[in-house]
């Protein structure tokens, strides 16, 4: 911006001293302003979020300013009257200001809406989705999607002992680390959430039992290798996992019961293990 100001003033002074042409200076000013607003549009569009309505409105405001900044120059080329130029400049500058302010307010408001939405669907401690959002999305996937995949429940073993021995801060760190391992180890299309205090859940759409078992066994091993450093010492945890393959038409409650039964069997088998339950169908 500083370079543009210096260059623009230098060019204007040059034309003022050598040509004394008012219309030429008007053209230069219009082209310069239009270029700057167009660059603002490019930046807004390039850095927009996937659902960034605010960024799109800011870009639209910049495009309006591009057109508005060219109007005085176009009028001067048709009727080179200073009074007409002054009127057109006043109108277009006000118009541009209104659109810029409106775009900035829209960007702020949409960012606020997005921020509150993220807080409503995300778990504060881990950043994963929360239970309510997961249930809604799972119901949508089972009812409106293909309706098949694998549902898995995770439970950190003996978590109460971790809290009692190392403190709740250490327990929070352990939950965060386990959440990170789960999220980073699953494929991009998986839906992951923190389901309770030390419980997590994931759904792998279109996955069969062998493929899901491959991912989940990898997670189980990575969690068992964790060493969470705390002021009271190193915390090691393990996780039990219940896996259930879901067929089209399976109700959400039935899918959860199947995965929960498998998790219960994993705990009875000695924990730090993965148990796959019988495939459920509608």
Instruction: Report whether 31 contacts 38 (CB < 8 A).
Output: no
Task: Give the whole-angstrom CA distance, residue 3 versus residue 168.
Answer: 54
Task: Give the whole-angstrom CA distance, residue 263 versus residue 94.
Answer: 65
C-alpha distances in Å from residue 282, one per residue of 143, 246, 248, 254, 260: 11, 9, 7, 9, 17
Task: Give the whole-angstrom CA distance, residue 176 versus residue 122.
Answer: 13
Does the annotation count 198 as an active-site position?
A: yes
Question: β-strand 149-156 against 233-235: which pairing, if any?
Answer: unpaired
| Rounded (5°) CA angle 189-193-197 | 160
Task: Give the whole-angstrom CA distance, residue 170 versus residue 235.
Answer: 8
224 Cβ contact partners less than 8 Å away, ≥ 6 residues apart: 236, 237, 238, 239, 272
Question: β-strand 233-235 against 239-246: which pairing, if any?
Answer: unpaired
Q: Which residue among 198, 209, 217, 229 is the active-site one?
A: 198
Catalytic positions, written as ranges: 198
């Amino acid at each position: 911006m500083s370079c543009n100001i210096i260059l623009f003033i230098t060019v204007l002074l040059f034309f003022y001293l050598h040509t004394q042409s008012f219309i030429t200076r008007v053209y230069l000013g219009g082209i310069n302003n239009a270029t700057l607003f167009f660059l603002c549009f490019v930046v807004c569009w390039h850095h927009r979020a996937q659902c960034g309505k605010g960024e799109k409105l800011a870009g639209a405001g910049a495009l309006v300013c591009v057109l508005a900044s060219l109007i005085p120059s176009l009028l001067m080329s048709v009727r080179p009257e200073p009074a007409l130029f002054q009127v057109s400049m006043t109108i277009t500058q006000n118009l541009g200001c209104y659109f810029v302010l409106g775009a900035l307010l829209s960007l702020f408001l949409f960012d606020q809406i997005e921020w509150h939405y993220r807080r409503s669907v995300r778990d504060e401690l881990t950043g994963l989705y929360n239970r309510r959002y997961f249930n809604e999305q799972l119901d949508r996937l089972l009812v409106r999607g293909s309706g098949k995949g694998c549902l898995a429940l995770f439970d950190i073993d003996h978590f109460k002992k971790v809290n009692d021995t190392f403190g709740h801060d250490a327990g929070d760190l352990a939950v965060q680390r386990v959440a990170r391992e789960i999220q980073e180890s699953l494929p991009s299309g998986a839906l992951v959430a923190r389901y309770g205090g030390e419980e997590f859940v994931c759904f792998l759409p279109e996955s069969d039992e062998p493929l899901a078992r491959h991912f989940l066994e990898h997670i189980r091993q990575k969690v068992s290798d964790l060493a969470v450093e705390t002021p009271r010492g190193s915390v090691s945890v393990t996780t039990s996992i219940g896996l259930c393959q879901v067929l089209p038409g399976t109700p959400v409650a039935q899918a959860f019961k199947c995965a929960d039964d498998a998790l219960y069997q994993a705990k009875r088998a000695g924990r730090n293990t993965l148990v796959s339950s019988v495939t459920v169908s509608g």
